[in-house]
Amino acid sequence: MTIQASGSVEKWGVFELPLRGPSTGNPFRDHSVQAVFRFGGREVKVNGFYDGEGKYLVRFLPDREGEWSYETISATAELNGVSGRFECVPPSAGNRGPVRVRDAYHFAYEDGTVYHPFGTTCYAWIHFGEEMQEQTLQSLSGARFNKLRMCVFPKHYAFNTIDPDIYPFEQKPEGGFDLTRFNPLFFAKLERRILDLQKLGIETDLILFHPYDEGHWGFDRMDAAVDDFYLRYAIARLASIRSVWWSLANEYDFMKEKTLTDWDRLFRIVQEEDPYSHLRSIHNGTRMYDHGSIRFYDHAKPWVTHLSVQHWDVTLPPIWHRQYAKPMVIDECCYEGNLPQRWGNITAEEMTRRFWDSVARGAYCAHGETYADPENDIWWAKGGKLHGSSPERIAFLREILEEAPDNCSPIPQIYDVPTIGVEGEYYLQYFGLHRPCYRDIPLPEEAEFAVDIIDTWAMTVTKVEGTFSGLSRVELPDKVYQAVRIRRIK
């Protein structure tokens, strides 16, 4: 954890107040500390946590420049009544604050900059050796992903059955875990990796629970009190990091030990305990053959900020939008690779198509890679190296979208090809597996437009000769994976 000097801290950085306190008994359970942070008339109350060896920490994420004051509150005398002040200074380059929901389709950083998620998935990368983790960061620094889905708990699953050396809970000498004691070293590692990602401009979509345990360690079937205890500790430690998103679960519906009431309770805890309202979502699993069995959590509930979906049919976002009117990320649409499992063997072409077909319908998509490997070093679980051909195409799409107006959203009047844009100003339409040889485009008469043909696979942008007004015929290359971009120039 990078600890900010208490004298000053940048806006949306982490202010950290270290305290000394009792180390006997079980300090995780027996002692607690809060602090109230004040700015003008505003008060923010945050929970501290025990960090081992008599050390207690209170972390805070200031969102206003200027002088903040604080004061601790605790039933434990040594932790009570510690007060002080610090100066919140302007954010450093690249620090735009936490990502927020901007409107029914979009995210934006707190500084107002639009944020288009282009994520990838390395579920358990922090649970493998340091060298592999460094390799993962190296790979990510060469790609253009800006979100990573990853789990707190380790994963015990196909291609991925190695036990990690360190766990969120303390290991008992006789085997098993002491579920009343956390391992601060594990959380320190987790925090370090989240900050490593942050330095690369990558948000962490942190998966708090997942089913890929099936009793091997038992983290998928802790009782409610332990779940809550863990969740409060994780929030106290991590909420001050601006790049954290809370993903309540991966494939929540595959966690047979939990009910919808459990998920409601866990969501409410996150909502109440996180003073900064980081993004909150929950990701569905599904039997892929049988459409009928997909069970979304009710994303309309007020504590769900956006949809984090698993679905292979990326034409569905308009339906979800009508139902939920929240930003949508298809965090799993299958992975580029060649594993025997259906979710892990689509081509780079298909992965790229799913990104474009999602974006052209007002949603976002996410990447994952699952090429069979003799060592089972598979990106989706362990990170390491990327082998596929979709990441550069995804980066290309990200560029296109970042050049577009911020408020692009679906234009349903153009019903026959998915199109986002701003009426009269900008249109981005994607033909995908369709390959028209021309298109008649009804443009406003009173303006002039430039038209580009984008080959989303070849990653080329070809300007169509001339400018266009009124009903305009545009010849298109007789090929799949083409998009058309139309921009008002006069």
Binding site for its own copies (CB under 8 A): 287-292, 313, 315-316, 318-319, 322, 334, 338-342, 345-347, 350, 372, 412, 415-418, 431, 433-440, 478, 480
Question: Is residue 190 within 8 Å of 126, Cβ to Cβ?
Answer: yes
Smallest separation (angstroms) from its own copies to the CB of 346? 6
Smallest separation (angstroms) from its own copies to the CB of 440? 6
**Residue for token pair 């595959």:** 254
Of the two residues 218 and 477, which places its CB atom closer to its own copies in the complex?
A: 477
Of the two residues 268 and 435, which places its CB atom closer to its own copies in the complex?
A: 435
Of the two residues 87 and 373, which places its CB atom closer to its own copies in the complex?
A: 373
Of the two residues 268 and 287, which places its CB atom closer to its own copies in the complex?
A: 287
Smallest separation (angstroms) from its own copies to the CB of 109? 32
Smallest separation (angstroms) from its own copies to the CB of 332? 15
Smallest separation (angstroms) from its own copies to the CB of 435? 5
Listed in order, strand segments (DSSP E) in 99-202 are 99-101, 107-109, 114-115, 119-121, 147-151, 169-171, 177-182
Residue 346 is encoded by which pair of tokens? 């689509």
Of the two residues 391 and 410, which places its CB atom closer to its own copies in the complex?
A: 410
Residue 36 backbone phi and psi in degrees, to 5:
-105, 125
Please give the Cα distance from 163 to 121 (Å, whole number).
Answer: 20
- SS3 of residue 156 by DSSP: coil
Please give the Cα distance from 283 to 298 (Å, whole number).
Answer: 11
Smallest separation (angstroms) from its own copies to the CB of 480? 6
Give the distance, in angstroms, between the CA of residue 312 and the centroid of all CA atoms in the same chain: 19
* Contacts for 2 with CB less than 8 Å, ≥ 6 apart: 14, 195
Of the two residues 138 and 338, which places its CB atom closer to its own copies in the complex?
A: 338
Smallest separation (angstroms) from its own copies to the CB of 172? 37
Is the CA virtual torsion 133, 136, 142, 147 positive or negative? negative
Of the two residues 76 and 345, which places its CB atom closer to its own copies in the complex?
A: 345
| Gyration radius of the chain over CA positions | 24
Among 392, 405, 320, which residue's Cα sits nearest to residue 361?
Answer: 320
Of the two residues 290 and 465, which places its CB atom closer to its own copies in the complex?
A: 290
Please give the Cα distance from 356 to 361 (Å, whole number).
Answer: 9
Strand partners, 43: 38
In one letter, which amino acid is 436? P
Smallest separation (angstroms) from its own copies to the CB of 19? 53
Smallest separation (angstroms) from its own copies to the CB of 89? 49
Among 307, 379, 318, 287, which residue's Cα sits nearest to residue 117?
Answer: 307
Strand partners, 67: 87
Of the two residues 433 and 489, which places its CB atom closer to its own copies in the complex?
A: 433
Of the two residues 85 and 438, which places its CB atom closer to its own copies in the complex?
A: 438
- DSSP designation for 292: G
Please give the Cα distance from 300 to 305 (Å, whole number).
Answer: 9
Smallest separation (angstroms) from its own copies to the CB of 68? 50
Please give the Cα distance from 368 to 361 (Å, whole number).
Answer: 21
Of the two residues 145 and 468, which places its CB atom closer to its own copies in the complex?
A: 468
In one letter, which amino acid is 166? I
* Exposure letters 187-225 (e unless 16+ CB within 10 A, then b): bebbbebbebbbebebbbbbbbbbbbbeeebebbbbeee
Smallest separation (angstroms) from its own copies to the CB of 438? 6
